[in-house]
Amino acid sequence: MFSCHRSKLPPIPPEVVTESTVNDTDDPAIWVNAKNPAQSIVFGTDKETNGAIYAFDLNGKIIGDKTIRNIKRPNNVDIEYGFQLNDSTTTDILVFTERERKQIRLFSVPDMKALDGGGFPVFQDATATGHDLPMGISLYKSPKDSTVYAIVGRKSGPQTDYIHQYALRSDSVGVKAQLVRTFGTFSGQKEIEAIAVDDALGWVYYADEGVCIRKYYAEPSMGNSEVSCFGGEYFLEDIEGIAIATYNNGKGHIIVSNQQKGEFNIFSRESNEFLKAVNLSTMETDGCEVVTVPLNDTFSSGLFVAMNDEKNFYFYDLKKVLPDCLTNADCETR
């Protein structure tokens, strides 16, 4: 349903609208095929008890043999590259929260093999309070030692230590998830869902939906103090999905869904100052994701994906979303 507060900015249509899921789309992740970018995959959660992680090709068609089904309310999903399975093997990985089973799941990409023995329980210390239902998730690969961490939020929680950070480690027995850190302020208003990590610069951002975008160090050794709380004045109601457009020189943008207004607010990756808003014609967007490398002729400047409240996802060539920064070279010369 359209709100009376809908954006008055000119709508920008997507290049591709995906095939529909069964229930309720929520959050996307993009896996870039390094050998053949045109064969990259967009994954998206279908958030219900009979849920799934859908896999889509760049034409928005469902890839049946890459789709993970029979998931109990998958919420958010993320991708990381080069996870060390053993001394000689690395794999790209996909992780997502499975709320009704109170766990996170881990699969290899693109072969879609489970690496988690059925799942890693999370928030086990909060069962008595009911604050143990995972929701948001993002992966961080440390530039210091290549450790991959899952940074996990929950449906409800305390006003401190709302976020748990788990190290994903592999040995001869298999992969384990070890809790290494709890951090993160919560206002007590609404909830926290969207989490995004800037691997290269070492920041984790999450949306305290009714207040601001909170910023912390992603590296556990850097401490748990909040770095900033920004952007809240630019949102109508809920601050939702967060995507980070990164470039090799440290420049880039943070793109955040202004859900009820039907816009996306764009902030500087470097300073976190507000730059502009765009209307991408989606309705009630929760999750979003972005990559800044060319994939094919349609997405020659990179790909931005946004959830749309009609059981689908919208795909945009990145130059439509970030018209002032079309390519890596353009960003490096700004």
304 belongs to a structural domain: no
126 in any annotated domain: yes
Residue at 52 is within a domain: yes
Q: In terms of Cα–Cα distance, which of 226, 261, 215, 256 is closest to 239?
A: 256
User: What pLDDT sits at residue 226?
Assistant: 98
* Contact yes or no for 106/95 (Cβ under 8 A): yes
Q: 172 in a domain, yes or no?
A: yes
Count other C-beta atoms under 10 Å from residue 219's C-beta.
19
In-domain check, residue 255: no
Q: How many domains does the chain have?
A: 1
Please indicate, yes or no, if residue 258 is contained in any of the structural domains.
no
What is the domain-level CATH number for residue 183?
2.120.10.30
- Contact, 117 vs 174, CB < 8 A? yes
What are the structure tokens assigned to 268, written together?
Answer: 């500087």
Distance CA 305, CA 10 (A): 19
Contacts of 296 by beta carbon, 8 Å cutoff, 6+ apart: 37, 38, 58
Q: Write out the chain's pLDDT in tens, 334 residues.
A: 444 578 999 999 999 999 999 999 999 999 999 999 999 999 999 999 999 999 999 999 999 999 999 999 999 999 999 999 988 899 999 999 999 999 999 999 999 999 999 999 999 999 999 999 999 999 999 999 999 999 999 999 999 999 999 999 999 899 999 999 999 999 999 999 999 999 999 999 999 999 999 999 999 999 999 999 999 999 999 999 999 999 988 899 999 999 999 999 999 999 999 999 999 999 999 999 999 999 999 999 999 999 999 999 999 999 999 977 544 445 544 4
User: Residue 119: its pLDDT value, please?
Assistant: 98
157 within a domain of the structure (yes/no): yes
Task: Quickly tell me which residue has 């210091």 as its tokens.
Answer: 144
- Distance (Å, whole) CA 190 – CA 213: 13
In a domain, 266, yes or no: no
Query: What pTM was estimated for this model as a whole?
Result: 0.96
What pLDDT, on the 0 to 100 scale, is given for residue 121? 98
Query: Which residues does 99 contact at the CB level (< 8 Å), separation at least 6?
Result: 72, 73, 74, 75, 133, 134, 135, 155
Domain that holds residue 130: 16-237
